[in-house]
Amino acid sequence: MPTTIEQVDVKGKRVFLRADFNVPQDDTGAITDDRRIRLTLPTIDSVLDRGGSLVMASHLGRPAGKGFEAEYSLSCVADALRRLSPKLRSLTLVGSRCTDADAARAAATLGAPGAILLENLRFEKAEKKGDPALALALASYADIYCNDAFGASHRSDASMLALPQAMHAMGKRCVAGLLLDREIRYLKGVIDAPRKPFVAIIGGAKVSDKLAALRNLCGRVDVILIGGAMAYTFLRAQGMATGASLVQAEMIDEAQAILRLATSKGTRIELPTDHLCGRALEGGTPTQVCAGSIPDGWMGLDIGPASRASFCKAVRAARTIVWPGPVGVFEMEPFHEGTFTLAQAIAQATSAGATSVAGGGDTAAAVEKAGFAERFSHISTGGGASLEILEGKSFECLAALDS
């Protein structure tokens, strides 16, 4: 495990905090979910309360990397930080780029305790390229590097990998933030040392997105519950009629291989036996519950009531539950029922002593929308990163931290 920020002396030192403030926004630019910002506050407090100062940095969205773009500015993040933390009431967003003269000067003159926020790292094209020159420039800003950006930890961007490598070369400490430490402990813990029975709920649209995770989980988990649109590729692989449901025809052979692998590894895969179907993926579409085969002209958009009962039964018997991917189109009523019912069942299992981990992205949004986020053991802030851990991958940027 990496050394954490709380294990190093920060008094009188500048800490470069690589956070993940890549938050969702509406059409006006307003933040619609500030969870990633809120969950970084313990790391921020740890540094400021112990007399350190913070040079904070993050990316936001996908700017072109050609300099400042107003729609991708971190000004909304700066406003949120000032609102959420009394310690950051005077926070300054500096510069128009993270390496311009204003940013460099602000970092060099930063007193302790104090904090500044750099502009969007991806305004620099060199960030996505992992450029060592950009890393060297950023390394001059601080005495300690702190990675608290789990959601970007599967990437080799300059601020994620080249920067800690550069700071190590200068003899500086490189540590994990408290959020990153929590993410690793929960996600690696459920894979490497789960309490049994271990149940995984795998949802989402495409088998191809979850193929590596499914392979890695076979033999590790006792039961895999498959929902979402990807279930229809598996059902088609078993010869079931799926109507107009989304099917990845090119993945049918892979689905059959996963079913065989699970059997050989002693993992039971459970697929939906009934479905809440609609004529079209739109609000107000006619609906019906289809047991078994789905008729032509109908598409499965959620698991049906019998499948909900069966899935929930498996969840309530589990001691470890990991859940990457909703089991239906939860954003649209009435196709939210399967996902919300499972969220409630997992919350109940957690209250009874189970360990529950929800992936980031859509799964985190679904659990939040269902109102059970506070009752899960852990909800990841990184959809792609959490999935790669479930795939058994390791991250270079974590290896670059002190351990």
- Residue 66 buriedness (CB in 10 A; 0-12 / 13-18 / 19+): exposed
Question: What residue ranges in 167-267 does DSSP mark as E strands?
Answer: 173-176, 198-202, 223-226
Catalytic residue among 300, 361, 382, 383: 361
Are the beta carbons of 198 and 267 closer than 8 angstroms?
Answer: no
Residue 400 CB-density burial (10 A; 0-12 exposed, 13-18 middle, 19+ buried): buried
Distance of CA 236 to the CA centre of its chain: 30
Question: Which residue type sits at 277?
Answer: C
Which among 309, 311, 291, 280 has a CA at the least distance from the CA of 202?
A: 311
Q: Which long-range contacts (CB under 8 A, 24 or more apart) does 283-289 make?
A: 283/332, 283/333, 287/334
Distance (Å, rounded) from C-alpha 117 to C-alpha 122? 14
- Under 8 Å between Cβ of 156 and 395: no
* E strands, 170-233, in order: 173-176, 198-202, 223-226
Element (H, E) at 356: strand 355-358
> What are 271's two structure tokens?
């697929």
| Annotated catalytic residue 173 | no
Q: Which of 61, 189, 384, 392 is catalytic?
A: 384
- Choosing from 50, 82, 128, 206, which is the catalytic residue? 206
Task: Judge whether 128 counts as a catalytic residue.
Answer: no
Note whether 25 and 75 are within 8 A (CB): no
Q: Which two tokens stand for residue 168?
A: 């190590």
Strand arrangement, sheet containing 223-226 = 268-270, 223-226, 198-202, 320-323, 355-358, 378-379
353 dihedral zone (left: phi>0; alpha: psi -120 to 50; beta): left
CA distance 144 to 222: 43
Question: Which one from 36, 122, 173, 220 is the annotated catalytic residue?
Answer: 36
Q: What is the DSSP letter of 245?
A: S
Q: Is 236 a catalytic residue?
A: no
292 is catalytic: no
Which residues participate in catalysis according to the annotation? 36, 206, 361, 384
